[in-house]
Chain A
Amino acid sequence: MRADYVIKRTAFAIITIFVSITLNFFLFRVIPGDAVSNLARVPHATPQLRQALEKEFGLDKPKWEQYVIYLKELAHGNLGVSFANQEPVWSNLKTALANTLPMVTLGTVFAIVIGLIAGVFSAWRRGTKLEQVSTNVAIAFYAFPTQWLALVLLIYLSAFLPSHGMTNDFLLNPTPWEHFKDVLLHMVLPSLTLALTLYGQYTLVVRSAMLETLGEDYVLTARAKGLPQRTIVVRHALRNAMLPTTTLIALSLGYIVAGAILIETVFSWPGIGSAVYQAVTQRDYPMLQGAFLVLTVSVIFANFVADLLYFKLDPRITE
C-alpha cells in the first residue's frame, strides 16, 4: 500500500529528530567537559546567570532528570538563553532562520536549474570536446572550497555588488520597495556563491542519470513510435532521470547547510550560518546547541519533503 511508505517516512523523520535531540543533550551535558560547567570558559557569564542556568537546567540533579527537564523545556520552545546577548535562543534563531531561507532557496533553485541544463547537455553531447570541458568545469566548482569561492567572488565583485550584511546601514527610512531592492542586491553574492558551489554536483548527477535513461529500452520504443527527439529527451529520458536526481539533491541538503554556514560567515549575512559561527567563536553553547537542533530539524524536514516528492514521481514505490 502506498500509504505505508508515507507512514514509514514520517516515523523515520520523527525518530531521527528525537535522536538528534538526545544527541544534543548527550554532547553538552553528559560527556566530560560539561558545556554548561564550561561557563568558566565564557568570559561574560555573570554569577547570577550561572546560578539561574543551574537552577533552570537542574544541573545539580542526576543526569536522567536533567534529560527530562531538557525535553520538557524543548516542548515549550525553550532552547535556553544565549550567553552573548542574554536573549532567548529561539528568538535569536527565528530571525536568523528567516534571513537564511530566502538566500539559500534562491541559490539552490538557481543551482538546480543550471545543473539540469548542463547535465542534460553533457549527457546528450557525450564525448564531444565541449562536453568534456563542461563536465570538468562542473567538477572544478564541486572541488572549490565554498568559503574560498566566496572570498574570490568577494575580491572580484565587491566593486559591483554589496558584499557585507543584508542591508545598507546608510539607507535611512527606506520604503518597503527600496528595502526589498536593497536586500535583494545584498543577496546576490551569497546566493551566487551557493549556486556555484552546488551546481557542479547537480550537473554530474543529472548527467549520470541521463546517461542511464538514454540507454533504456523505452527510449528506443519512443523513437520507434516516431516521436521527435526533443520530446523523447524531455518526456521520457529526463522525466525518469529526475528520480535518482531527486534522491541525490536530497542528500546534498547537508552540503547546502554547510555552504550556508561558510557563505554567511564570509559575507556577514545575518542568518543562521553566521549565528553558528558567532556562537563558536564566542563559546555561546546554548546558541550552538539551539542552532544545531534547528538546522538538524530543518534538514530532516526537508528530507521528508523530498521523500514525499520522490514518492509522487515514482509509481513503483510501495514500501
Chain B
Amino acid sequence: MTLLSVRGLHVWFDLPDGRQLHAVQDVSFDLDPGERMGLVGESGCGKTTSILALMGLLPSSATVGGEVLLDGRNILERGEETLRPHRWNEVAMVFQGAMNALNPVKSVERQIVEPMELHHVAEGAAASKQAGELLELVGIPARAGTRYPHEFSGGMRQRATIAMALACSPRILLADEPTTALDVMVQAQILELLTGLSEEMGLALVLVTHDLPVVAQICERAAVMYAGAIVEQGPMDELFHSPRHPYTRLLFAATPDLYADEPVLSIPGAPPRLDQDITGCPFHPRCDKAFERCPRERPELKAVAAAHEAACHLNDEVSWSGSRIE
C-alpha cells in the first residue's frame, strides 16, 4: 500500500521580467511506509523545491502543478486548505542548516511542544514530558530542552530539529541536506539515528542531498535529478553498480575515493537554464556518451529493469555497455 505517491509534479517560479522558471519538471515517485528513499543531484536541480512542494511550503511567486497523493487522496488539490491539516502530523520536515530553522528566542522544548499543542497531540506538562522523551530518543538529555538553540552544538541542534519533526508522530520525514555542514563523525551519528528511527518507528524517509555516500549508506532507493527532472530512479545498489544514465554514472564516479589511484572525475560544464524550453536531452552538452539523437529528442523516463527507470536514449540502443564500478 503506497503511502505517498507523487504524480507529475511541476513547479514554476515567476521571474522579474514576467517569464517563468520551470524549476521542477514532471517529477513522479512513490514511497512505501517505512521506506528510505534518496533524492540526489547537483545544487539547483530542483530537489529541495520538490520536497517543499510536497508540503506546500513554496512562496507566492510559485505555481504548482500535479498531484501529491497521501493514502490515495490528493493533498495538493486545493492548495493550503488541503495541505495544512497534514503538516507535521503526517509529513514533517528537517531543514538544511538547523542554525536558522530554530527560533533563537524560544527554548528548544517550547518549539517541540508548539506543534504538539497545535495538533492536539498533548498539552502543558504532558507535552513537556513527551518533548523530553523525544529529545532522549535522539540522544539529547531531556533537561537540555529548556535551553536555547544557540547553546547547542551544530550536531545537537540538528538532532533537536529531528526530535521536533517527530513531535506529532509523522509517517513521512522529509530531510533536506540534514548532514551538510556537520563534520563526518556527527554525520555518521545523525544518519544512524535516522536509520534507527525509520526501522523502529516505521517512518518513511526522503533524504535530499548532493552527497552520494550519505545516500548510499542509508537509502534503499534513490531518484537522481538533473535540471528539474528525474533522470534515473531505482534501487540503490543498481544505481551504484549498473547505472543506466550517464549522469548517474558520472555522479557516482565523481566522488573521490581516498584509497584509489584514479584521477578525480568532475563533470565539466553547467546545467542548462530553466527559464527556456530545452530541446533534446538536458544533459547532452555535458554527456560523454551523447550521440546524434540526443540533441534532437528528449528521452523519456522508461523502465530498464524491475522498479528501475531511466531517461536516456542509450537504453534503446543495443550496444549500451555501461561501465561497471568496482
Q: Which residues of A contact B (CB under 8 A)?
A: 216-218, 220-227, 236, 239-240, 243, 313-316
Contact = CB atoms under 8 A, between A and B. Distances in A.
Interface stretch (B35-43, B91-99, B249-257): B91-99
Given A218-B103, A221-B93, A226-B87, 16 more contacts: A216-B100, A217-B100, A220-B95, A221-B95, A223-B87, A224-B87, A224-B88, A224-B93, A225-B88, A225-B114, A226-B118, A227-B118, A239-B105, A313-B105, A314-B104, A316-B150
B29 interface: no
Contact of B103 (A223, A224, A240, A313): A240
Nearest to A219: B103
Nearest to B104: A316
B7 interface: no
B89 interface: yes
Interface in B1-59: 55, 57
A194 to B, nearest CB: 30
B102 A218 contact: yes
Contacts of B89: 226
B84 interface: yes
B148 A316 contact: yes
Interface of B: 55, 57, 84-89, 92-93, 95, 97, 100-105, 114-115, 118-119, 148, 150, 161
Given A226-B115, A227-B114, A221 B105 contact: no
A240 B105 CA distance: 7
A236 B103 CA distance: 7
Given A240-B105, A316-B148, A218 B87 contact: no
A197 to B, nearest CB: 31
A58 B115 CA distance: 71
A223 B57 contact: yes
Contacts of A216: 100
A217 B118 contact: no
B99 to A, nearest CB: 8
Contacts of B119: 226
A221 B101 contact: yes
29 contacts: A216-B100, A217-B95, A217-B97, A217-B100, A217-B101, A218-B100, A218-B101, A218-B102, A220-B95, A221-B101, A221-B103, A222-B114, A223-B57, A224-B55, A224-B57, A224-B87, A224-B88, A224-B92, A224-B93, A225-B87, A225-B118, A226-B87, A226-B88, A227-B115, A314-B104, A314-B105, A315-B104, A315-B150, A316-B150
Contact of A225 (B97, B100, B115): B115
A318 to B, nearest CB: 9
Nearest to B119: A226
A51 B199 CA distance: 95
A295 B101 CA distance: 44
A243 B119 CA distance: 29
A222 to B, nearest CB: 8
A240 to B, nearest CB: 6
B148 A315 contact: yes
A226 B114 CA distance: 10
A222 B55 CA distance: 12
Nearest to A316: B150
Nearest to A229: B80
